[in-house]
Chains A and B, each alone.
Chain A
Amino acid sequence: MIRFLIRRIGQSLVLLVLVSMIGFALLHLTPGGPLSQFALTPGMSAATLAQISHAMGLDRPLPIQYLDWAGHLLRGDWGRSYRDQQPVLDIIVSHLWATLELMGSSSLLAIIFGTWVGVLGAIRRYSIADYLATIGAMIGLSIPTFWFGLVMIYIFSVWLGWLPSGDMYASGHASFIDYLRHLILPCLVLTLVTIATWSRYMRASMLDVISQDYIRTARAKGLRRRAVLVRHALRNALLPMITIAGLQLPTLLGGALVTETVFTWPGMGRLFLDSIGYRDYPVVMGLLMFSALLVLIGNLIADLLYSIADPRIRLS
C-alpha cells in the first residue's frame, strides 16, 4: 500500500509540474504577457514599461521566472485581479462553493438515477428499455448544454412561470427554499450530461460483473436473484465507477461552467466568463490553474479510494 501510495502521489506531482508549465506558457501568451495590466494602460511609455518589467524580474531567463512564479503559486500568492486588486486565490475560493454545490447536487442525482438506469439496462440487456436508455444517453450527450438550459428556462420560467430563470437568490428574501428553487433548473441541466455518461459506464460495468463465475455460483447455491444483484453484483460493479467519477471531473467542471453562464449562477464558471470579458488575465489564469489542480486532486483521491476499495489493483 505504501509503495502504491508513493508511486501514485509521485505521478501526480509530475503532472502538477507539467500542468504548471502549461499554465506558465499560457500566461506568457497573453497580450503583453504578465505585463498586460500595465501594457494596456493608456499613456504608458516604453521606457516605463521596461522599468516595470525589470522591477517584476521579467528580463530574467524564463526558467528562473518560471521557478519564481511557481514558488509564489505554492505559497498561495496567485497575483491580484486587475478589476479590484483582490488576491486571485481569495476571489476563486469565494466562488468555489457555489460551483461545488451545483456539481455535488447534480452528481448525487446522476449517480442515483444513472446507477438505476445502468443496472436496468444491464440485467435486461437488449430490451426496449435498454435501447431507449442507450439512445437517450446518446442524445443527452449530443444536446448542447447551454441550449438545453435555454429550453428549460423557456419551459419552466417563461411559459409555466414555476421557477426562477437565474441567479442564486431572489433579491430581498434569501431563504433556503428560495435557494433550492434557484438550484433546481441548473442542477437538472447539469445532471443531463452526467447521467448520460454515468448510466452507460454503469451498464458496461454491470455487464462485466454479471458474466463472472461468482455471480453464477451465488445463483447456483440458491440465493434470490435480487440478493445476488444487489449484494454481489452491484457492489462489485460500483467499484470501477470510483475511477470513472474521477475521470469525469473535467467534463463535470466544464459542464458546470456552461450551466452557470446560462443561469447566472455565481460560481467559478460565471467568474471565469466575467473575467474573460474584462480581460482580467490573472483571474482567468488562476481559474485555469485552479480547475486543473481540482481535477488532479480529484483523480488522485479517486485512485486512492479505489485502491482501498479494491486491493487487487495495488498489486498490478
Chain B
Amino acid sequence: MSAAAPLGSALPAPARGARRPALRRFMRHRLAMFGLAAIVILVVACAIGPYLSPYGPLTIDLRHRFQPPFLGPHLLGTDQLGRDLLVRLLLAGRISLTVGFAAMGLSTVFGVIVGLAAGFYGGWAGTALMRFVDAVLCFPQIFLLLTLAALVSPGVLTITLIVALTSWMEVARVVEGQIRSLRERDFAVAAEAIGVSDTHLMLRELLPNVMAPIVVAATLTVARAILLESYASYLGYGIQPPTPSWGNMLNNAQEYLTSAPWLAIVPGIVITLAVTGFNFLGDGLRDALDPRLDIHR
C-alpha cells in the first residue's frame, strides 16, 4: 500500500480508455454482481409484484390470521389481521427504497455543493465549512435523526429530508479533499490560465474527476438511509401505519415474537438483503473505480 502511486494519479487519465478496465473489474467483482442482482430483483418485485397478487395490502383475511409462511394460501404468511405479508413487504419496499434513493440524491447533491465550495474557494470560509461538517459528525447520527424526527410530523417526505440532513457530511468531506488537491494540478491551473469561469472550472473540469468517489459514497448512502429509515419507523418516529415501510412492519412484531416470530424475521431478512446489496455494490464500485488498486492485482 505504501508504494501506491500518489493519490488520484490516474484520475485525469484519458476518459475513454480508462473506463473499460473499470467496467471489466466491476463485472468480475462477484459480490458486486450479487448486490446488483439483489437490488434489481427487489426493485422489480416491489414495482410489479403487488399487481400480480390476489391479495391487497389492507385485505383482511380473518380465516387465515397468523398463518405461518409456506403453510397456507399466503406464501410468506399473514399478520394479526390476516393481511398478506408478501404484498405488504413489497409495498413497504416501494416506500423504503424510495426513501433510500431520494435521501441519497438529496444528501449527495448537498454534500457535493458544500464540498465543492469548501474545496474550491478554500481559505477562511472553506475551513469554517469543513469544521462545521466535523462538528455535525460529532453527534451520533441516530441521535440527530431521532431528535429531528421527534420535532416534525412524521411522513414519507419529512423522513426523507431528515435522513438526507443527517447523511450529507461524508460526501462533503470526500469531495472537499479531492477538489482541494485537484485544484493544484496542471490541467486545472491551465484551465484557469486560459480564463474559464469559476463555475466552468468547478463543474466541467474538476467535478467529473471526482465522480468515482461520489458514486461510491452515494451507493453506500442508500444502504445507510434504508437502515436509518427502518430504525426510525420501527421506533414509531418514521413512516406511520397504515402506510407500510420495512421498519414499521417490525414496529409491533416484538409483541408477537412468541406467537408469530415470522412477522419479525421476514421483514428483517428483506432489509438485510437490500442493505447488503447496496453495500456490496458500493464496495465493488470502489474496487473497480479506484485506480490505486491496479498495482496490487
> Which residues in A have some Cβ–Cβ distance to B below 8 Å?
14-15, 18-19, 21-22, 26, 29-31, 135, 138-139, 141-148, 150-151, 153-154, 158, 204, 207-208, 211-212, 250-251, 253-254, 257-258, 261-262, 272-273, 276, 279, 284-285, 287-288, 291-292, 295-296
With known contacts A18-B135, A150-B254, A150-B264, A142–B234 Cβ distance under 8 A: no
Contact, CB under 8 Å: B272 / A153: no
Task: Chain B residues near A151: list those with CB within 8 A.
Answer: 264-265, 268
Does B138 contact A295, Cβ atoms closer than 8 Å? yes
Measured CB to CB, the closest approach of chain A to B68, in angstroms, equals: 14
* A262 to B1 alpha-carbon distance, docked (Å): 41
Given contacts A18-B135, A147-B271, contact A31 B151 (CB under 8 A): yes
Residue of A nearest to B137 (CB): A250
Which residues in B have their C-beta under 8 angstroms from that of A261?
235
Within the complex, which residue of B132, B223, B230, B257 is in contact with A158, where a contact is CB–CB below 8 Å? B257
A144-B231 contact given A26-B147, A296-B138, CB 8 Å threshold: yes
In the assembled complex, the CB of B163 is this many whole angstroms from the nearest CB of chain A, namely: 14
> A residues within 8 A CB of B250?
146-147, 150
Whether B227 lies near A254 (C-beta < 8 A) is no
Q: Tell whether A288 pairs with B143 under 8 Å between CB atoms, given A18-B132, A147-B271.
A: yes
Residues of B in contact (CB 8 Å), total 46
Q: Give every chain A residue within 8 A of B276 (Cβ-Cβ).
A: 138-139, 142
A79 to chain B, nearest CB (A): 15
In contact, B138 and A254 (Cβ under 8 angstroms): no
Asked if B54 CB lies within 8 Å of chain A CBs, one says no
Ordered by A's residue number, 25 sampled pairs between the chains whose C-beta atoms are within 8 Å are A14-B131, A15-B131, A15-B134, A18-B135, A21-B135, A22-B135, A22-B136, A31-B151, A139-B276, A142-B223, A146-B231, A147-B250, A147-B271, A150-B265, A151-B268, A154-B257, A154-B265, A158-B261, A250-B137, A276-B146, A276-B147, A279-B150, A288-B144, A295-B138, A295-B139
Nearest CB in chain A to that of B132: its residue: A18
Known interface pairs A30-B151, A146-B231, A208-B1; 7 further A-B residue pairs with C-beta atoms within 8 A, sorted by A's residue number? A15-B138, A22-B139, A147-B271, A148-B268, A153-B257, A158-B261, A292-B135
* B31 contacts chain A at the CB level, 8 A cutoff: yes
CA distance A281 to B268 in the complex (A): 31
Indicate which residue in A18, A154, A207, A250 contacts B264 across the interface (CB closer than 8 Å): A154
Task: Say how far B284's CB is from chain A's closest CB, in angstroms.
Answer: 11
Q: Choose among B1, B3, B235 the residue that contacts A273 (Cβ–Cβ < 8 A).
A: B235
Q: Which of B2, B132, B235, B275 contacts A142 (CB 8 A)?
A: B275
Q: Are B150 and A284 in contact (CB under 8 A)?
A: yes
Provide the residues of chain A in CB contact with B134, threshold 8 Å. Answer: 15, 18
- A254 in contact with B141 (CB, 8 Å): yes
Given contacts A147-B264, A288-B147, contact A258 B272 (CB under 8 A): no
A15-B135, A144-B230 known; A150+B140 contact, CB < 8 A? no
> Please, which residue of chain B has its CB at the minimum distance from the CB of A285?
B147
Contact across chains for A142 and B279 when beta carbons are under 8 A apart: yes
Taking CB atoms, residues of chain A closer than 8 Å to B230 are 144, 147
Closest residue on chain A to residue B145 by CB atoms: A254
Taking CB atoms, residues of chain B closer than 8 Å to A279 are 150
Q: Shortest CB–CB separation between residue B283 and chain A, in angstroms? A: 7
Is B258 at the interface (CB under 8 A from chain A)?
yes
Binary contact readout B248-261 vs A (1 if CB under 8 angstroms, 0 otherwise): 00100110011001
Asked whether A150 lies within 8 Å of B257 as measured between CB atoms, the reply is yes
Whole-angstrom distance from the CB of B278 to the nearest CB of chain A?
8
* Among A19, A139, A251, contact of B272 (Cβ-Cβ < 8 Å): A139
B253 touches A150 (CB 8 A): yes
Residues of B within 8 A of A296 (CB): 138
CA distance A292 to B234 in the complex (A): 24
Would you call B151 and A291 a contact (CB within 8 A)?
no
Task: For the complex formed, measure the closest distance between the CB of A261 and the CB atoms of chain B, giving whole angstroms.
Answer: 7
A145 to chain B, nearest CB (A): 8
B234 touching A146, Cβ below 8 Å: yes
Closest chain-B Cβ to A204's Cβ sits at a distance in Å of 8
B279 and A144 form a contact (CB under 8 A): no
The answer to whether A211 and B139 touch (CB under 8 A), given A147-B264, A158-B257, A273-B235, is no
Cross-chain contact B272 with A144 (CB below 8 angstroms): yes
Chain B neighbourhood of A18, CB < 8 A: 131-132, 134-135
On whether the beta carbons of B138 and A19 are closer than 8 Å, the reply is: yes
CB-based contact A138/B253 at 8 Å: no
